[in-house]
């Protein structure tokens, strides 16, 4: 005699189908396809939480580079000069300064170049 899923199996299927609500085609209708879609989407979500951090860092570096070049210095030279001048400000804050307060950013560049 075999044991079937019964109510627990039905609830598990409902949980998966609820998770994939809004997907196209059989991905939100059939349990097997929905389960595949759910596993894949969870894998993407896990991976992309790490990728988001990389993407933001690239954005910050691009913004810092653009602002630095307006002040007559490249990004790599600015970061090296800041390290020598012992100015410890992270890229997120530096990029925010570059966008919101160009005068403060220019002052940091001038201080680093001394």
- Give tens-digit pLDDT for 22-56: 999 999 999 999 999 999 999 999 999 999 999 99
Q: In which band, very low, low, confident or very high, does the pLDDT at 114 lie, cut at 50, 70 and 90? A: confident
The pLDDT of residue 83: 95
The pLDDT of residue 3: 85
Q: Global pTM?
A: 0.78
What structural domains and CATH numbers belong to the chain?
Answer: 7-113 (1.10.1900.20)
The pLDDT of residue 38: 97
25 backbone dihedrals φ, ψ, rounded to 5°:
60, -140
**36: exposed, middle or buried (C-beta count within 10 Å: 0-12, 13-18, 19+)?**
middle
- Give tens-digit pLDDT for 48-65: 999 999 999 999 999 999
Return the sign of the alpha-carbon dihedral for residues 39, 41, 42, 48. positive
Residue-wise DSSP of 36-65 = HHHHHHHHHHHHHHHHHHHHHHHHHHHHHH
């Amino acid at each position: 005699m075999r044991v079937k899923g019964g109510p627990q199996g039905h609830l598990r299927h409902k949980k998966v189908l609820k998770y994939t609500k809004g997907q196209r085609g059989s991905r939100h209708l059939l349990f097997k396809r929905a389960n595949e879609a759910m596993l894949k989407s969870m894998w993407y979500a896990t991976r992309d939480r790490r990728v988001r951090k990389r993407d933001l860092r690239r954005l910050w570096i691009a913004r810092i580079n653009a602002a630095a070049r307006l002040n007559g210095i490249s990004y790599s030279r600015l970061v090296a000069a800041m390290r020598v001048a012992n100015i410890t400000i992270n890229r997120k804050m530096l990029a925010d300064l570059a966008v919101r307060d160009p005068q403060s950013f220019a002052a940091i560049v001038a201080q680093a170049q001394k």
